[in-house]
Amino acid sequence: MADYRTIKAEPLTNAIRAIVKAGGSSDREAELVSTNLVEANLKGHDSHGVGMIPRYVQSVVNGGLAVNAHVKTVLDTGPLLTLDGVTGYGQVIGHEAMELAAARAKQNGVCLVGLSNSHHIGRIGHWAEQCIDHGLVSIHFVNVISRPIVAPWGGSDARHGTNPFCVGIPRRGKDPIVLDFATSRIAQGKTRVAHNKGVELEPGTIIDNEGKPTVNPRYTVIPPHGAILPFGEHKGSGLALVCEILGGALSGGQVVKGPSDGKHNVLNGMLSIVIDPGKLGTGENLAREVESFVAWHTGSPPAAGVDKVKIAGEPERETKKKRLAEGIPVDPTTWQEIIEAGKKFGLDQAAIEKIAG
């Protein structure tokens, strides 16, 4: 598009921070939310980036997102933590939950943490990376309480959310392994981005409101709604089922039981297993064997049209390097939605444009 724009990471962060602060958030909260969202954009996951701000603002206005909330401990037995996100900003709740989990894992060798009732928790890889910074392995199962958007394998309408699964594995002196994916063919936000850009989706990605195949992303954005298909057919659908039950029910939260209430709030539940390899007595073994397998894995001769075999997390790091240098692309529809969101918190367009450069 002719009016497509790129914005450098720092001014974009400043603009989002200003909007969040205008909504009543503390400096710390505004910092955690803005840096988290821009980091998602930097890593190429625009679906979980600054384009989420309009939904957040609407949730604050609706009373479905609690400003300046902090994670509440429901149960603490050392290696077992049950936490309530009290509908606070997921960027704050997730950060606090993972810091608690990391401390327990370092103390006990492992922490199993059930987090419920958090507002949209964002890119799950962010929480795996936080654990990696502590030298910890982590596994995450996540469910989504919002308008159902994904069809079960063999079904013809939406029955659950995109239900992410994530694993983070640190490597000594080298970039970590971060596996992070939605159990749907694509993330819901990616369909929103496609809709805003006016581009079609790949065939076999979504179905329309009659359960028929379509490439038009409007069926996941505006009524009448269709559904995204599960990735990996019955296998992805099975993993989504597990994420719903572990992330939603075992965490102490809720599962999707029916259609949406019509509000635009997004709540997440997350069950995380955080492991200290040193306390497990396998730290040295892990460090050595990871490198052996990564070398073997990436040593496969690239297929036609592929530059090299990569590990999980590598494409995101490459995208971040490029976008830090060149700026983050923001389509005009998304930018206008961000401007309108700022207005709801009392910031006019000129103020936001000035901050964003």
Q: Give the pLDDT confidence of 51-106 residue by residue, as tens digits.
A: 999 999 999 999 999 999 999 999 999 999 999 999 999 999 999 999 999 999 99
User: What are the domain boundaries of the chain?
Assistant: 1-62+327-356
Q: What is the pTM of this model?
A: 0.95
What is the phi-psi region of residue 10: left when phi exceeds 0, alpha when psi lies from -120 to 50, beta otherwise? alpha
Query: Please, is 224 exposed, middle or buried when counting C-beta atoms within 10 Å of its C-beta (0-12, 13-18, 19+)?
Result: exposed
The pLDDT assigned to 264 comes to: 63
Low-confidence ranges of the chain (pLDDT < 50): 1-2
pLDDT score of 336: 95
Query: Among all chains, which residue has been given the structure tokens 């987090």?
Result: 115
pLDDT at position 1: 42
Q: What are the φ and ψ backbone dihedral angles of 190, each rounded to 5 degrees? A: -70, -30
Q: How far apart are CA 317 and CA 174, in angstroms?
A: 12
Choosing among 1.10.3720.10, 3.20.20.70, 1.10.1530.10, 3.40.1030.10, the CATH entry for 1-62+327-356 is: 1.10.1530.10
Q: What is the CA radius of gyration of the chain?
A: 20
Q: Are strands 110-119 and 137-145 parallel, antiparallel or unpaired?
A: unpaired
